A = this chain, B = another copy of it.
Amino acid sequence: MSALDQVGSISRPSLHEELTDRLRSMIVEGVLTAGEKVPERALCEKLGVSRTPMREALKVLASDGLLTLEPNRGARVRAITVQELEEVFPLMGAFESLAGELACAQISDAQIKELKRVHEKMLTRYEASDMPGYFKHNQRIHELIMEAAGNRTLITMYNSLAVRVRQARYLANMSAERWKQAVDEHESIIQALEARDGKALSAILKKHLENKFAAVRQWIEDQEP
């Protein structure tokens, strides 16, 4: 075995890949807001690239459901509709549920420890009423469970939905009760994981998401009376 075998090949992501990632972030972070036109030319100039890779990126994001391409009329940021949200949540529920079962079957002690660590941090943020901080750790916990499930296809599909839900920031608003409830649910999640009780965790995660959805739905109904 030569010393060179240790050296990994350098990966230089192509322009269109960087662009897809960049644009995806811009959409999720709300720099490009829902319904907004995506002016090809302007974006190209802003980011200093030509139209070819930009258009390639737009096609990919459209196939991911983040944009709509109206022929000869360009791209628009696709706003997730209430109807779509009602479609997406059961799916995410199924994903989380599956992830829970898979995770319990093979999660390591180290992974559980890490989860508890993040969970504790999240609690601190909750007690400090720091919602953004809370969400950050909250998201990380769900990511860790997905990772523990050890199914890359599952992660990919889950993320593609999560992105679209996150894009519509229904979640920024949460009542005090709902927040308390969510924290309690997370407590049970950790417990089920420690016990490696797949069925229980699966059910809790599904319920957790259903409650989240109920809160979102409530929020929507309050918004558009």
Cα–Cα, bound, A90→B57 (Å)? 31
A56-70 interface with B by 8 A CB criterion: 56-57, 59-60, 63-64, 69
Number of interface residues of A (CB under 8 A): 32
* Copies of this chain, whole number: 2
Looking across the interface, which residue of chain B has its beta carbon closest to that of A83? Answer: B152
Cα–Cα, bound, A57→B59 (Å)? 8
The yes or no answer to A124 lying at the interface (CB within 8 A) is no
Chain A 7-29 against B: per-residue CB contact (8 Å), 1 yes, 0 no? 00001111010001000000000
User: In this complex, which of A63, A95, A152, A154 has the most chain B Cβ atoms within 10 angstroms of its Cβ?
Assistant: A63
The yes or no answer to A84 lying at the interface (CB within 8 A) is yes
The yes or no answer to A191 lying at the interface (CB within 8 A) is no
Partner of A151, one of B90, B151, B154: B90
Partner of A153, one of B64, B91, B151: B91
The yes or no answer to A189 lying at the interface (CB within 8 A) is no
Whether B152 and A71, one on each chain, are in contact in the complex, defined by CB atoms closer than 8 angstroms, is no
A151 contacts across to B, CB distance below 8 A: 87, 90-91
Whether A87 and B154, one on each chain, are in contact in the complex, defined by CB atoms closer than 8 angstroms, is yes
A97 contacts across to B, CB distance below 8 A: 94
Q: Is the interface of A mostly helix, strand, loop or mixed?
A: helix
The yes or no answer to A88 lying at the interface (CB within 8 A) is yes
Looking across the interface, which residue of chain B has its beta carbon closest to that of A152? Answer: B87
Whether A157 and B157, one on each chain, are in contact in the complex, defined by CB atoms closer than 8 angstroms, is yes
Whether B91 and A154, one on each chain, are in contact in the complex, defined by CB atoms closer than 8 angstroms, is yes
The yes or no answer to A55 lying at the interface (CB within 8 A) is yes
Chain A 95-129 against B: per-residue CB contact (8 Å), 1 yes, 0 no? 10110001000000000000000000000000000
Partner of A59, one of B59, B84, B154: B59
A11 contacts across to B, CB distance below 8 A: 71
A70-98 interface with B by 8 A CB criterion: 71, 84, 87-88, 90-91, 94-95, 97-98
Looking across the interface, which residue of chain B has its beta carbon closest to that of A102? Answer: B90
